[in-house]
Structure 1
């Protein structure tokens, strides 16, 4: 079917994922991979904190209509740049919600190719603003450093690039489907692509420790930034996707 190639429509619409958790699928972007420009679907996560404020993880391309929809849920209090690759639209969201506090992964101030507004650096422990409901951990690596989160009330693990799970049926060119499968990031066996796995070679002990902490969290579902999310069997999927690191 032709609509199988449409990336997670409707786009720019908050979709309930768990209690107090929404995902928003955005437009595809062109990502550099092995010298090629590849179409990547994008996704952000919205969490409502106990005080009613909103926590926006990995904001997608800014859209006025989407911003209005999110603002209707409550005040935007936190904007999260969770790794050294997912940050580009943070300044646009910060301009729309100037009262929001920005939080960025370590090293992003030096790696960013676009100036970032003043921000707090995310660490291996949750910020006091969300410690009541969200756990977090730091995963330092070579290609990227990522901070991952668990929304405890819904047992939802929120990842960015450490698992990618592209659905081949949504990829039109045959050569690209083959490349995604070769990289190891194809559904139903999505995981970190091979180049990212290799980049953790010098950080494997730290990565293994972080993955074990995530497994101990026993997530029921997992939100991914790229590809099909896991709405059940989260811990099983986590062990499967990180078998290369355990």
Structure 2
């Protein structure tokens, strides 16, 4: 799943249940799946998206060696790409908030999505990193280009696809504190955080005002009773100065275009001769283009 970032034009509150105080949210930025924020003006959202997207996306332009990251782990299917991951950095709030995106795929399938890390510059001048992604040389260089020390690394969820990168990323910034969502678990074996390379971590607490960033970023633990294999646990954050809400899987949205880190060509290739595409497009011409558009 991808971490989501919502920039709100009016103040929002994190209360006992996640509630927006504003009834009109001008923009929800870059989620991976569709949400129920249907009240948003489509025209206003589209205009604001164009504005933010124009603020600058950057990939280092380096070769495959700078994008190398070996991963064959995951259950029941490993998480790809297995060898190379392109990182795209986008500034969404000037000199304050950046998104870092990579492709993430379900191994041995044609299913791909984007996975996102969000970086916020604090008043201290340090960086607060939400949901780290694979620390390729390219990714780390793009972080270092922000010319600020990484102070905090945050794992906002129990989900494996985010947990897997926290340990390797933290080793690139050994002075950073690691904070994790409570009630961590894994399946089919409930493994400790140390198994994932996460050491000396601190637990995120609901509405905790003692965290080092409490005067800038509020937090709310979203959790469900344990049903089935384990509970749903996620921590939502609200950056007060920019009025930005950060969630992981609680809010989802499908943009009109695929994320920059996933090429249109790879999506069309996935649709080639696909039975599902033929059935859903009802045999119409341009079925692969239809598949591409329907995915996003």
- The secondary structure found in structure 2 opposite 1:89 is helix
CA 50–82 in structure 1, closer or farther in 2 if over 3 Å, else same: same
In 1, distance between residues paired with 2:144 and 2:114? 23
| Alignment partner of 1:96 out of 165, 168, 172 | 172
Q: Which structure 2 residue ranges, 5 or more long, are not aligned?
A: 1-31, 33-56, 60-85, 259-266, 281-294
Q: Quote the offset at 1:125 in angstroms.
A: 2.1
Task: After TM superposition, list the pairs within 5 Å mapping 1:1-246 onto structure 2.
Answer: 10=59, 11-19=86-94, 20-30=96-106, 38-73=111-146, 74-85=148-159, 86-108=162-184, 114-126=196-208, 127-141=210-224, 142=226, 143-167=231-255, 170=258, 172=268, 173=271, 175=276
Instruction: Between the two structures, name the one with larger relative contact order (CA 8 Å, sep ≥ 6).
Output: 2
In 2, distance between residues paired with 1:67 and 1:12? 10
In 2, distance between residues paired with 1:50 and 1:63? 27
Q: Superposition RMSD on alpha carbons, in Å?
A: 3.2
Per-residue CA shift, 1:74-104, capped at 9, x if unaligned? Answer: 0001111100012110011111110010011
Q: Quote the offset at 1:37 in angstroms.
A: 7.7
**Larger of the two Rg values belongs to structure:** 2
CA 169–67 in structure 1, closer or farther in 2 if over 3 Å, else same: closer
TM-score w.r.t. the length of structure 2 is 0.51
- The secondary structure found in structure 2 opposite 1:123 is coil
Task: Pick the structure with more helix per residue.
Answer: 1
Q: Which structure 1 residue ranges, 5 or more long, are not aligned?
A: 1-6, 180-226, 229-246
Q: Quote the offset at 1:168 in angstroms.
A: 7.0
TM-score w.r.t. the length of structure 1 is 0.60
How many residue pairs match? The answer is 171
CA 71–38 in structure 1, closer or farther in 2 if over 3 Å, else same: same
Q: Quote the offset at 1:118 in angstroms.
A: 1.9
